[in-house]
Structure 1
Amino acid sequence: MQKARFEGKAAVITGGSRGIGAAVARRLAGEGAAVAIGYRGNREAAHALVAELAGDGGRAVAVQADVADPEQTRVLIDRAVEEFGRLDVLASCAGIEHFGALEEITPADFDRLFAVNTRGQLFAVQHAAAHMKEGGRIVLTSSVSASRAVFGHTLYASSKAAVESMVLNLSAELGQRGITVNAIAPGGTATDMAAEHGTAYQHPGLVGKMSMDEWAGVQIALKRLAHPSEVAAGYAFLASDDAAYMTGRTLRIDGGMF
């Protein structure tokens, strides 16, 4: 029987309607947490997940919030506190992808990527930390791309590298209050995003010549993409008391990508 590490605790998951975010919501709820699922546009998926968790005996609520707008993030977090009476965990999973050569990048591309992937996470931390007491746990989302060169991925990778610097520096500040802040850097994961963009991670000379499964077989030590639930286990670890003495760090979950 799995230990209910989050019994009596409440969590906010941004980007929680699908992919890794939905897996995190299931994992935390499965271990006893009441969860607020933030979503931008996929209302049907978010509410279906709430119904699923409720059917399993959990407490959950779905709240529409585009993290590119800090005010919407504040409303999401305030709603969670109003609904559950507390906030113990923030799992910031919302993010968007981008591929484009240097000469194709526009200022609008930059603003859009950083508004969600970087600024969105910073202000989620700001709003969440305002409600947290000692023992609060914050887990942001980086990417293996932050430390791995990929053609046409400069903008996305930079937005994620900033997150790793963010958790390092915020750890000193939030540590004074007994709150930890870390990040997960997922590798290739079997999500809708991977299905849409996965082949772009290949060398341009290989695009169209290898399937994602074939690519994973030669680029990942474990020879496959991660299941979202496997990545969610890392978020649950960092959000739990098992990681009480870990802060300011980024944990790679990539199956041994090389």
Structure 2
Amino acid sequence: MPRTFSGRFDGQSFVITGGSGGIGRATAARIVAEGGRVLVTGTNADKLKAAAEAIPGLLTLQNDAADPDAAADLAEKAKAEFGTLDGVYLNAGFGVMQPLAEVTAEDFDKQYAVNVRGVVLHAQALAPLVKQGGSLPITGSVAKWLGMEGGVL
């Protein structure tokens, strides 16, 4: 792990969607290592449990960004745990790379529900909790780097 800056996030609170693995989990680990408090979400209970065991003090919430009610549930939990937030990292997302000819309406709707609607609804629900000067970054698509000939989504 790269060098940490002890205390950089002391007294600060963050929410990270899609924080049970990958970039989200690494971000949560870094913030906690530097003194912050973090609540992460994910859809997989086992991955959330593993993240909590690996990162002492990490809070978790099983939460599916595709569910329109998930944003309000997360905001309620974040407010109960932290009151206000110094930042929200909207990182939940997924993709199924497949040829255009194989895309179904169901495939499209599921990805749109998480990657677009979920982001908008979570930003809408969590932004009022973010302190003045806080941040709300969003992870975009990796398709730019992982494109597939004839692929879409």
What is the 5 A alignment of 1:235-254?
none
- Per the alignment, residue 96 of structure 1 pairs with 94
Deviation at 1:14, TM superposition (A): 0.8
Q: Within the alignment, does 1:25 sit opposite 2:28 as a pair?
A: yes
For residues 105 and 92 of structure 1, do their structure 2 counterparts lie closer, same or farther at Cα, with a shift above 3 Å needed? same
Runs (4 or more) in structure 1 with deviation over 6 Å come to none
Instruction: Tell me which residue corresponds to 1:84.
Output: 82
Deviation track 1:43-85 (CA, whole Å, cap 9, x = no partner) reads 122123223322xxxx321111000013112212220221122
The amino acid across from 2:55 in the alignment is L
Is the Cα–Cα contact under 8 Å of residues 16 and 88 in structure 2 kept in the other structure?
yes
Aligned twin of 2:7: 4
Match of 2:54 in 1: 52
**Aligned-partner SS, 2:137:** strand
Q: CA deviation at 1:149?
A: 5.0
Q: Secondary structure at the match of 2:132?
A: coil
Matches within 5 A, 1:1-258: 2-40=5-43, 42-54=44-56, 59-146=57-144, 149-155=147-153
Structure with the bigger RCO (C-alpha within 8 Å, sep 6+) is 2
Q: Bigger radius of gyration, 1 or 2?
A: 1
CA–CA distance in structure 1, aligned partners of residues 76 and 135 of structure 2: 17
Gap runs ≥5 in structure 1: 156-258
Provide the TM-score with structure 2 as the length reference.
0.87
Structure 2 spans left out of the alignment, 5+ residues: none
Q: Deviation of residue 151 (structure 1)?
A: 1.8
Conserved in 1, the CA contact under 8 Å of 2:20 and 2:48? yes
Partner of 1:187: none
Taking the aligned partners of 2:146 and 2:70, their CA distance within structure 1 comes to 32
Distance 1:48 1:144, change over 3 A: closer
For residues 55 and 79 of structure 2, the distance between their equivalents in structure 1, rounded to whole angstroms, comes to: 19
Quote the offset at 1:26 in angstroms.
0.5
Q: Percent of aligned positions with the same letter in both sequences?
A: 37
Contact kept, 8 Å, 2:16 with 2:41, in 1: the verdict is yes
Residue 2 of structure 1 and its aligned partner are, at CA, apart by 1.6
Distance 1:113 1:33, change over 3 A: same
Question: How big is each residue's C-alpha offset from its partner over 1:7-38, in whole Å with a ceiling of 9 and x where there is no partner?
Answer: 11111111111122111110111122111110
C-alpha distance after superposition, 1:114-172 (max 9, x if no partner):
111111111111111021221111111113424885324322xxxxxxxxxxxxxxxxx
More strand by share: 2
SS of alignment partner, residue 143 of structure 1: coil
Q: CA RMSD in A?
A: 1.9
Instruction: Calculate the TM-score normalised by the size of structure 1.
Output: 0.54
Q: Is contact 1:35-1:61 (8 Å) kept? A: yes
